[in-house]
């Protein structure tokens, strides 16, 4: 009996324990859907494909360091969501996005650099013809002291070689191509969302219905 | 129940090309919806799985209700998505169609997704739609699928879809066998998944089946009305209704418009003749075109419905095509002539007309219009025609009851109202056809017979105590 009590008291309280893998996954899934709703609501970005089950092969790419025809899971990465822009001269441009539904900075630094490596790899794999925009969508700002540099070619180039893992993803055995970096940097954007922003600044009621009907009418003419 | 629809959707989703994947999914889904309800028109909005713009807008232009319904495709359909959709678009009575099978996670849904929030909202999946589609070819197999598309509500997965189909099957079997209890027992399941209006339509059809197969209408266990006769009900009656009960068809005819009749989509039907024969005064059209008689046609029936949306009467030497839209008329094939004055006089004798158009000897086209209607006894018009020995009459504006004018054109054998007027079949038969064409004796008798039969029906006592020879005449198609 005493040993049982000792075992129990050695465990942390449930509320203090770290999230389970499934809880992390659920929060991630929830974040992707919330990001989709927010992007759709801009009436400018339409998310067509998104995690977790949404035929993510459309958003999946092989790392540059992977052997040809590799089927190893670690030799691939995928973006959380992808879609099209609507309207204007860039109507139909493709975007890809990574979503971090975090309530703290939570290690976004290395993850953001991994995202840059993924984006660079995708540019190489698709000859820079597939995506026009790469979005990092988060609920918590990160790398505050480097915030102004996050979208610059210099930061991108540094990120690609920061670790072997990033190098494997973006470069394989090749060197960083400054031209690719120069083309990639202007395609990057960081979007910071907030819980209250999503709820309060969302179209409602008659305005929503009116916008919906107007969008259908516009698309019909296109 | 086949997984074909789900597999087809998944295959389309697997296409690596974005455009092809989206269009592939939408083609599969729109075809599946159309297979469940052939009367629906589907507008593709060119959006895909958008948060608040539907993928499709469904409409039913031939329905008087004027309703539309949005369809939202959902690649991921979980409790979070459903809650968001109910909050955002739930008020538009949409169909939320998951592109994968509904998961148990949604049943039961969390407290934020109460049953009441599904009022007029249908949450369903490809397996449920496939289950509905499996029964489409059976006798009443189109009733439930179309009811679900138009007004289905609640969470309809594969199992509940099967329950719904089975319940409808029990209702119609019981209606044919005049057994009330299965109809009553099936009512809760049908009301669980179908909106109020469509529930009424469904049980109304069951009542029609009950009565048409000889059941006592007072013994039908649910309250219904014949006023909501629609395409499915009429199609059933034309195929399988009680041919000999003239009072029944006179009663049914109250709810039958020309557009409803033409929308049935049957070429010939066992009861088309009796329906038309007992409702000559109610079926109204805007245009008539006369064609030569066809020797190759089966003479089993007098009337038939043409796929180009017209009702056709077959005589020995003519076909009379009646249409509500001019585009439904065929190109003229009857070699008609401009009438000589004496033939014109013979044809319009006994009829009143307000205008005559003719070509004079100098090839001028002249139209005389009179404020008061004329007849051949009026000397003025005949003097005008006979004074021109070479005159040929092109057309005449015949006066019809109610102040309407029916313009008959001899050169192409057509007749229509001066404005947007409609005319009953009876008016076309008795006024226009004998003027437009020179009828053979047998065709003359045919029209006399049709109108005499109708006169008996229209003036007969309630309860249908008609002359026995009327039934023989209606069945004599030789």
pLDDT of A2 reads 44
- List, in order, residues 6 or more apart from A121 with CB less than 8 Å away: A61, A63, A64, A77, A169, A170
Long-range contacts of A86-90 (CB under 8 A, 24+ apart): A86/A43, A86/A44, A86/A45, A86/A46, A87/A43, A87/A44, A90/A132
Ramachandran angles phi, psi of B318, nearest 5°:
-155, 165
Neighbours of A35 (CB within 10 A): 27
**What was the pLDDT predicted at B267?**
67
pLDDT averaged over chain A?
Answer: 88
Q: Chain B: nearest CA to A48, how far in angstroms?
A: 6
Residue of B415, B465, B445, B427 lying closest to B302 (CA atoms): B445
pLDDT of A154 reads: 97
In the prediction, which pLDDT does B238 show? 84
Three-state SS at A49: strand
What are the structure tokens assigned to A165, written together? 């893992």
Q: Does B251 have pLDDT greater than 60?
A: yes
Interface-testing mutation among B9, B51, B71, B98, with chain A (most A C-beta atoms within 10 A): B51
Q: What is the pLDDT at residue A5?
A: 41
> Least CA distance to B9: which residue of chain A?
A55
Average pLDDT over residues A88-95: 94
CB spacing of A216 vs B57 below 8 angstroms = yes
A88 pLDDT exceeds 80? Answer: yes
Q: Taking a C-beta distance cutoff of 8 angstroms, is the pair B60, B67 a contact?
A: yes
Of the listed ranges A47-56, A101-110, A167-176, B323-332, the least confidently predicted one is A47-56
Residue in B43, B52, B80 closest to A212 by CB: B52
Tokens of A12: 């942390």
pLDDT for A128 beyond 70: yes
- Longest pairwise C-alpha distance within chain A: 77
- Can you give the pLDDT at residue B474? 42
Per-residue pLDDT for A96 more than 60? yes
* Residues of B in Cβ contact (< 8 Å) with A82: 18
Nearest to B52 among A53, A94, A208 (CB): A208
Q: What is the C-alpha separation between B288 and B294, in angstroms, rounded? A: 17
Residue B339: DSSP 8-state? B
Interface predicted TM-score (ipTM) over 0.90: no
Start-to-end Cα distance in chain A = 75
Provide the shortest C-alpha distance from residue B44 to chain A (in Å).
9
Kindly report the nearest CA distance between residue A69 and chain B, in angstroms.
17
How far apart CA A27 and CA A48 sit, in angstroms, is: 20
Q: Are the C-beta atoms of B159 and B167 separated by less than 8 Å? A: no
CB-CB under 8 Å, A222 with B16: no
Inter-chain residue contact A52 with B80, CB threshold 8 Å: no
Instruction: Give the best-scoring range by mean pLDDT among A53-62, A65-74, B327-336, B385-394.
Output: A65-74
Structural tokens at position B154: 């609640």
Spell out where B276-317 has E strands: 284-285, 287-292, 303-306, 310-314
Please compute the mean of the pLDDT values over residues B19-43 and round it to a whole number.
Answer: 93
Helix residue ranges, H only, B135-195: 143-151, 158-177, 181-193
Checking if the pLDDT of B69 tops 50, the result is yes
Radius of gyration in angstroms for the set of CA atoms belonging to chain A, rounded to a whole number: 20
Report the C-alpha gap between A51 and A79 in whole angstroms.
8
Average pLDDT of the segment spanning A191-214: 90
Specify the pLDDT at position A6.
Answer: 41
Q: Could you tell me what percent of chain B has a pLDDT over 70?
A: 81
Give the C-alpha distances (Å, rounded to integers) separating A117 from A75, A125, A159, A183.
Answer: 13, 12, 7, 14
Terminal CA-CA length for chain B: 47
Closest CA to B55 of B47, B67, B63, B64: B47
- The answer on pLDDT for B471 being more than 80 is no
Q: Taking CB atoms and an 8 Å limit, are B16 and A220 in contact across chains?
A: no
Tell me: the pLDDT tens digits for B72-109?
Answer: 999 878 888 888 899 888 888 999 999 988 876 565 44
* Euclidean distance between CA atoms A150 and A59, whole angstroms: 23
- Residue B376, pLDDT score: 62
Residue B276: the pLDDT is 92
For chain A, count helices (H), then strands (E).
Answer: 8, 7
Rounded distance, CA B91 to CA A96, Å?
32
Pinpoint the alpha helices (H) of B319-422: 341-348, 379-386
Instruction: Return the pLDDT at B300.
Output: 59
Q: Which of A170-184, B73-87, B298-312, B453-467 has the largest mean confidence?
A: A170-184
Residue B122 to residues A34, B72, B93, Cα–Cα distance (Å): 23, 10, 8
pLDDT tens, B134-169?
A: 877 676 777 899 899 999 999 999 999 999 999 999
Q: What is the pLDDT, as a whole number, of residue B158? A: 92
Average pLDDT rounded to a whole number, residues B292-312: 76
- From start to end of A40-152, where are the E strands? 45-50, 60-62, 76-78, 81-85, 94-100, 133-138
Per the structure block, which two tokens stand in for B390?
A: 């070479």
Which residue is it, tokens 């916008």?
Answer: A211
Instruction: Tell me how far CA of residue B369 lies from CA of B382, B418, B419, in angstroms.
Output: 13, 13, 16
The 10s digit of each residue's pLDDT in A6-31 is 444 445 555 555 556 666 666 777 89
Mean pLDDT (chain B) is 83
Q: Which residues of B touch A212 (CB under 8 A)?
A: 52-54
- What is the average pLDDT across A202-222? 89
In chain B, DSSP finds a helix count (H) and a strand count (E) of 18, 17
pTM equals 0.74
Cα angle for residues B70, B121, A26 (degrees, 5° grid): 95
- In which element (H, E) is residue B394 found? strand B392-400
Q: Which residue has the higher pLDDT, A188 or B215?
A: A188
Which residues in B lie closer than 8 A to residue A209 (C-beta atoms)? 92
Model pLDDT for residues B355-381, shown as the tens digit of each residue: 889 888 788 888 888 755 666 666 666
pLDDT tens digits for range B165-216: 999 999 999 998 999 999 999 999 999 999 988 898 889 889 888 887 778 8
Answer positive or negative: Cα dihedral of B355, B356, B359, B360. Answer: negative
Instruction: Give the CA distances from residue A138 to residues A100, A185, A190, B51, in Å, rounded to whole numbers and listed in that order.
Output: 5, 19, 8, 19
Cis peptide before B63 (omega within 30 of 0): no
pLDDT value of residue B478: 29
Q: Which of B150, B8, B147 is nearest to B69 (CA)?
A: B150
């Amino acid at each position: 009996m005493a040993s049982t009590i000792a075992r129990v008291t050695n465990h942390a309280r449930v509320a203090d324990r770290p999230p389970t893998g499934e809880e992390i996954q659920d929060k991630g899934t929830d974040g992707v859907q919330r990001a989709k709703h927010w992007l759709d609501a801009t009436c400018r970005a339409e998310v067509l494909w998104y995690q977790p089950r949404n035929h993510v092969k459309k958003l999946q790419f092989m790392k540059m360091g992977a052997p040809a025809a590799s089927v190893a899971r670690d030799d691939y990465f995928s973006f959380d969501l992808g879609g099209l822009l609507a309207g204007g001269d860039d109507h139909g441009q493709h975007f890809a996005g990574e979503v971090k539904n975090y309530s703290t900075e939570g290690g976004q630094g290395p993850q953001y650099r991994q995202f840059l490596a993924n984006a660079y790899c995708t540019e190489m794999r698709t000859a820079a013809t597939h995506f026009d925009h790469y979005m990092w969508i988060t609920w918590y700002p990160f790398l505050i002291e480097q915030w102004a540099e996050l979208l610059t070619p210099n930061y991108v180039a540094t990120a690609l070689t920061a670790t072997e893992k990033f190098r494997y993803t973006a470069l394989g055995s090749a060197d960083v191509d400054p031209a690719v970096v120069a083309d990639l940097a202007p395609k990057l954007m960081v979007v910071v969302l907030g819980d209250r922003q999503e709820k309060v600044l969302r179209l409602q009621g008659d305005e929503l219905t009116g916008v919906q009907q107007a969008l259908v009418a516009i698309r019909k003419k296109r | 129940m086949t997984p074909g629809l789900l597999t087809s959707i998944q295959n389309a989703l697997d296409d690596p090309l974005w455009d092809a994947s989206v269009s592939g999914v939408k083609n599969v889904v729109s075809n599946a919806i159309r297979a469940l309800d052939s009367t629906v028109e589907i507008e593709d909005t060119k959006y895909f799985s958008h948060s608040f713009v539907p993928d499709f807008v469904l409409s039913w232009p031939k329905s008087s209700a004027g309703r539309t319904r949005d369809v939202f495709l959902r690649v991921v359909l979980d409790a979070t998505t459903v809650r968001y959709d109910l909050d955002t678009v739930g008020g538009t009575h949409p169909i939320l169609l998951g592109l994968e099978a509904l998961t148990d996670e949604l049943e039961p849904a969390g407290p934020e997704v109460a049953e009441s929030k599904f009022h007029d909202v249908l949450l369903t999946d490809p397996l449920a739609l496939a289950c509905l589609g499996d029964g489409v070819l059976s006798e009443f197999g189109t009733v439930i699928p179309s009811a679900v598309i138009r007004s289905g509500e609640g969470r309809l997965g594969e199992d509940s879809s099967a329950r719904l189909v089975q319940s409808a099957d029990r209702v119609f079997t019981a209606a044919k066998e005049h057994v009330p209890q299965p109809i009553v027992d099936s009512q809760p399941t049908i009301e669980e998944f179908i909106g109020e209006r469509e529930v009424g339509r469904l049980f109304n059809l069951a009542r029609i089946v009950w009565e048409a197969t000889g059941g006592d209408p007072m013994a039908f266990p649910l309250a219904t009305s014949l006023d909501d006769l629609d395409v499915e009900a009429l199609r059933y009656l034309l195929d399988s209704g009680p041919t000999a009960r003239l009072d029944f068809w006179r009663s049914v005819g109250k709810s039958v418009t020309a557009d409803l009749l033409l929308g049935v989509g049957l070429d010939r039907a066992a009861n088309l003749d009796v329906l038309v024969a007992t409702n000559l005064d109610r079926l109204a059209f805007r245009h008539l075109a006369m064609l030569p008689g066809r020797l190759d046609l089966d003479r089993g029936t007098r009337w038939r419905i043409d796929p180009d949306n017209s009702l056709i009467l077959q005589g020995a030497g003519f076909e009379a095509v009646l249409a509500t839209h001019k585009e439904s008329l065929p190109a003229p094939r009857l070699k008609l002539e401009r009438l000589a004055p004496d033939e014109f006089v013979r044809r319009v004798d006994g009829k009143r007309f307000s205008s005559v158009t003719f070509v004079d000897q100098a090839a001028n086209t002249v139209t005389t219009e009179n404020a008061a209607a004329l007849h051949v006894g009026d000397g003025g018009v005949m003097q005008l025609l006979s004074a021109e020995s070479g005159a040929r009459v092109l057309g005449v504006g015949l006066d019809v009851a109610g102040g309407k004018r029916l313009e008959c054109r001899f050169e192409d054998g057509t007749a229509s109202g001066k404005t947007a007027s409609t005319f009953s079949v009876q008016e076309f038969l008795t006024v226009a056809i004998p003027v437009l064409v020179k009828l053979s004796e047998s065709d003359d008798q045919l029209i006399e017979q049709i109108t005499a039969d109708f006169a008996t029906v229209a003036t007969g006592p309630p309860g249908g105590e008609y002359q026995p020879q009327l039934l023989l005449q209606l069945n004599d198609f030789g």
